[in-house]
Amino acid sequence: MNAPQLIQKYLDFFKSKGHAIIPSASLIPSNDASVLFNTAGMQPLVPYLMGGKHPQGTRLVNVQKCLRTVDFDSIGDDTHNTFFQMLGNWSLGDYFKKEAIEWSFEFLTSKKWLNLPVKKLAVTVYQGDRNVPRDEESYALWRSVGIPEERIAFQGKDNFWIAGETGPCGPSTEMFYWTGESVAPQKFDPTDARWVEIWNDVFMAYNKKEDGTVLPLKQKNVDTGMGLERTLAVINGQKSAYETDLFQPIIKTIEELSVKKYSSEQRSMRIIADHIRAAVFIIGDENAVLPSNVDRGYILRRLIRRAVRYGKMVGIFGAFLVDLAEIVILSYGNDYSELKINKERIKTELYNEESKFGKTLEKGLHEFERMVPLGKISGINAFLLFQSYGFPLEMTEELASEKNIKVDIKGFLAEYEKHKELSRTGAEKKFKGGLADSSPVVIRLHTATHLLNEALRKVISPTIHQKGSNITPERLRFDFSFERKLTPEEGKKVEDEVNRVVKLDLAVIRKEMPIKEAEKLGAEKEFGQKYPDKVSVYFVGDYSKEFCGGPHVTHTAEIGKFKILKEEAVAAGVRRIKAIVE
């Protein structure tokens, strides 16, 4: 089976069960500023899982573009990719466990659909905790469709699914497929890596609040996720997605360019293929991100530069990313037309970034070699590699670990900060939430901006998201994605909504989370932050949450009366609101 066939089967199956097919949302989250990229199919659908009405109804099915960078080090193994596609079917307060499980089983095992042998399947279900009962219902449902007792394992937190720390969540049941060469053992052991997880049905019936309480949602949802890459490999009996049509054309081209064999350079070629594919999707996204030293741009830069370095390692001479990008666009452009539309941008950005880095890579590696005998890479040296040779910190760490030596990260961060202060390159301003002016009126406008951001989504459309923001003592300016002019009534509704929340006098709370937690959310460590081991998120009651450096008022009533002055176009698909507080 190839990828288009698997996708088609999935969509057809759920269509036959009354689901509407919806397109993938952008890779860049529009309603959750706490993650840099969508890490799961559910993220763009959060407003609907929380009770918002979806225009296409209560049963949806889709293929969502996702990107995860937590597992950077595992890229190259058999089961991880940075960019991947998630097949998902959704019940928004419609069907629940019975249909979800029966349909999962039918899709996997029925002759008409995937026709996988039941003897190679196993499942996990939730063992329960103090808020959520043990999932006996799912257990019984799996038994009734024909999964034997010894192939069902009750598990703890692995079977409670939440994207990050707060929001819609619930117990899950995961399906595993036996990939070992021998016959599948009768007793299922979820820790045996030969059992590969292919599908996750989450019963999203809860909402986790900032204070840690878990309360029932007003509706019971189903969120399922089947990783296309992984599942395709598994059902084809292939070792990994790299052996499937999703990657083979890219890998073949890498073989040609390097005049080496995939079989002898497996890990490096996989990394190059994974990273170029991810980079093409990021730059080609409808909300494009370009290489930079902060936020998403930095993740992109790391992907590109790491691909370039591995390219050199497998012996490719000269620039090669554009050649590979062409193959990615050719392979995926029919399903993701944005790649075709943005083809020139993709090629130009990749070419520029590769030439910039290509020029210094060789010299930088040479410099690095000279540092190795010192037994450790000092902060100053890591910064030198960053500043003069364009080595992302993580690349230096990777090079160092290949040599079994350490990098002084703290020292690097200190250097980075010092340099930033000296050069005032403006980089600081690019870090999210950095306000140049923090006079009281600017602070009030800043919190008003967060409310406006959320209000637009609540009142106008959940697809709206921030494109830019600028605050002076005179006014706030907020750019957001939307196709058309707001009507005067809509403008008024947004204004009223902000003022309603102002009056509620919600507390504004800042939470610092360890980088680890933020990484779990899918956020990448930003080494330019003031608190390098922490990131900060601002919550306005449970109305809004944004990844932000502040500062903000302590309670929304301090904002005063919010007034929209103007709503206008900035560019195609981008609108701008100017507003004041009185």
| Residue whose Cβ sits closest to ligand SER | 225
Residue listed under structure tokens 């037309």: 337
Which residues contact residue 394 at a Cβ distance below 8 angstroms, ignoring those fewer than 6 apart? 72, 302
Count of residues near ligand SER by CB under 6 A: 10
Q: In terms of CB distance, is 40 or 235 closer to ligand SER?
A: 40
Q: In terms of CB distance, is 40 or 308 closer to ligand SER?
A: 40
Binding part of the chain for ligand SER, among 26-34, 35-43, 151-159, 306-314 by CB under 6 A, reads: 35-43
Task: Supply the minimum distance, in Å, between the C-beta of residue 282 and ligand SER.
Answer: 19
Binding part of the chain for ligand SER, among 39-47, 187-195, 427-435, 461-469 by CB under 6 A, reads: 39-47
Q: How many CA atoms lie within 13 A of 448 on its CB side?
A: 32
Q: In terms of CB distance, is 44 or 225 closer to ligand SER?
A: 225
Any contact of residue 58 with ligand SER (CB under 6 A)? no
Task: Supply the minimum distance, in Å, between the C-beta of residue 370 and ligand SER.
Answer: 45
In the list 42, 61, 122, 152, the residue contacting ligand SER (rule: CB under 6 A) is 42
DSSP string, 66-79: EE--TTGGGTTSSS
Instruction: For Cα atoms 476, 479, 483, give the angle at the middle one, nearest 5 degrees.
Output: 145
Q: How far apart are CA 283 and CA 339, in angstroms?
A: 9
Task: Supply the minimum distance, in Å, between the C-beta of residue 158 and ligand SER.
Answer: 11
The DSSP element (H or E) to which 155 belongs, if any, is strand 152-155
Tell which positions 173-202 bind ligand SER, by CB under 6 A. 200, 202
Count of all residues that appear for the chain in the document: 582
Task: Supply the minimum distance, in Å, between the C-beta of residue 171 and ligand SER.
Answer: 12
User: Using CB under 6 A as the criterion, what x/- string covers residues 145-174 for binding ligand SER?
Assistant: ----------------x-------------
Angle between helices 343-371 and 321-332 (to 10 degrees): 140
Q: How far apart are CA 441 and CA 7, in angstroms?
A: 52
Q: In terms of CB distance, is 223 or 524 closer to ligand SER?
A: 223
Q: Using an 8 Å Cβ cutoff, are 272 and 254 in contact?
A: yes
Which residues contact residue 348 at a Cβ distance below 8 angstroms, ignoring those fewer than 6 apart? none
How is residue 542 written in tokens? 């449970």
Q: How far apart are CA 568 and CA 570, in angstroms?
A: 7
Q: In terms of CB distance, is 223 or 338 closer to ligand SER?
A: 223
Tell which positions 207-266 bind ligand SER, by CB under 6 A. 223-225
Any contact of residue 40 with ligand SER (CB under 6 A)? yes
Q: In terms of CB distance, is 202 or 325 closer to ligand SER?
A: 202
User: Using CB under 6 A as the criterion, what x/- string covers residues 436-475 for binding ligand SER?
Assistant: ----------------------------------------
SS3 565: strand
Environment class of 185 (CB within 10 Å of its CB; exposed 0-12, middle 13-18, buried 19+): middle
Q: Are strands 466-472 and 152-155 parallel, antiparallel or unpaired?
A: unpaired
Residue among 207, 230, 234 at smallest CA distance from 218: 207
In the list 44, 76, 88, 164, the residue contacting ligand SER (rule: CB under 6 A) is 88
Q: In terms of CB distance, is 58 or 556 closer to ligand SER?
A: 58
Give the interface with ligand SER as residue ranges (CB under 6 A).
Answer: 40-42, 88, 161, 200, 202, 223-225
